[in-house]
Structure 1
Amino acid sequence: MATTGATSPRIRAYAPRDWAALYDVCLRTGADGADASGQYTDPRLLGSVYAGPYVAFEPELAFVLDDGERVQGYVLGALDTTSFERRCEREWWPALRERYPAAAWAPGSADGEVVALLHDPPTADPAVTALYPSHLHIDLLPAAQGTGFGRRLIETFTAAARAAGSPGVHLVVSRTNTNAVGFYRRMSFVELDGPAEPGAGVTMGLRIGSISE
């Protein structure tokens, strides 16, 4: 990560000019934090699912790590997960479903799995959103990992969500991404799921507000 010269890495609010950079970071961290660019036929696919709707609908909750040369990472999310899911169903998924018809992608391929998800997206458990209504996604390129900026990005997001009235935030992480799971535990996130099949995602939550804390 560039640190020479007068510019130091900094966290700043997302700007529309960052759109392509977020899609690139999403792809380059899409394999449990490692580069997934060789796994997908369409390099826009991951970003269209995991970054695009957030900066389109809730840019005020999107923050980037800028090293003066490029975006090295981001955190983004939704204040009210249930409302966000409904809006995506109305305003985001229909166009993607036309662009990525399910029948055009091989089942079980990396592209096919993501396309299947956008045609039948999961919804958050009401028991989770009752206490943790917000959710976030965070991705950092390898050069920015282990620098402390991951923690600072999450703190920036949770401060913004708290200021907007949220009492809690959750996220879903692959159980195979043990580094990420350990990081979230150190950030005081707690696992909200019971036992799951190996490789399944785990939902983790963090209380940030004052309602029934």
Structure 2
Amino acid sequence: MASIRPYRPEDLEGLYDVCLKTGDSGQDATALYRDKHLLGAIYAAPYGRLAPELAFVAEDGGRVAGYIVGTADTRAFAALLEVRWWPVLRAAHADPQGVPWAERTPDQHLERLFHKPNLAPEPVVATYPAHLHINLLPHLQGQGMGQRMMDTLSTALKAVGAPGLHLGVSEANTRAQRFYDTYGFTRFPEQQTPGTIWMVRELA
């Protein structure tokens, strides 16, 4: 049976792998990208490296089959990324800013985020400063594992005093929206970002 445990440094490649295999609105994105580490470098790995106390994995058969990662202070974490994470990636990946948006490859769309990261809207972060990313491989979905992982991270966030939690989900990913609805998230009352639904939940 799969179990939830704190992240360990040797789990890093597992974060990259799960992020890629769930990176197309929950489906396998392996065929979309030439560089298999790009998605994980944005949405998973930096949390394991820079905020391991708020990173947990679902271990199944001795391998990482899911994760939940986050931070209690979104703005402070963004500042940390600017110092300790993005510079290395920017040096290794050219900014495709000069390439028209419609002509960029899938890899270039992600590489652009190394140079200009997406930031959660200030009205969302002001009240719900914590955020998370969660992914599970398909064979662990629909078994209550996602809710158990949400409970695990929520407890850890409460312990460090985070009053509220937010996440962004694609408008196209209706399955994820239903999961977050079930867990008690609500939609932020004003649309802030085209194509993204910001969902929030009080922790206090």
TM over 0.5: yes
The CA deviation at 1:125 is 2.0
Q: Deviations 1:127-177 (Å, cap 9, x if unpaired)?
A: 212211100000011101111000110110010000010011111111100
Return closer, same or farther for 1:154/1:26 CA change in 2, 3 Å cut-off.
same
2:77 corresponds to 1:84: yes
Aligned to 1:90, the other structure's residue is in SS state helix
Q: Which runs of 5+ in 2 are unaligned?
A: none
In structure 2, what residue type is equivalent to 1:76? V
In structure 2, what residue type is equivalent to 1:75? I
Distance 2:56 2:67 in 1: 6
Distance 2:122 2:151 in 1: 24
Q: Which residue of 1 aligns with 2:196?
A: 201
Q: How many residues align?
A: 201
Correspondence 1:114-153 to 2 at 5 A:
114-153=110-149
Aligned to 1:121, the other structure's residue is in SS state coil
TM-score normalised by structure 2 residue count: 0.93
Q: Which residue of 2 aligns with 1:163?
A: 159
Aligned to 2:69, the other structure's residue is in SS state strand
- RMSD of aligned alpha carbons: 1.8
Q: Deviations 1:176-212 (Å, cap 9, x if unpaired)?
A: 00000011011110111534787x1111011011xxx
Q: Which runs of 5+ in 1 are unaligned?
A: 1-7
Distance 2:2 2:53 in 1: 20
Distance 2:44 2:65 in 1: 14
Distance 1:29 1:10 in 2: 19
Distance 2:125 2:158 in 1: 15
2:54 corresponds to 1:46: no
Structure (1/2) with the larger helix percentage: 2
Q: Deviations 1:67-88 (Å, cap 9, x if unpaired)?
A: 1332110000111000000111
Distance 1:68 1:13 in 2: 16
Contact 1:40 1:111 (8 Å CA) reproduced? yes
Contact 1:105 1:112 (8 Å CA) reproduced? no
TM-score normalised by structure 1 residue count: 0.89
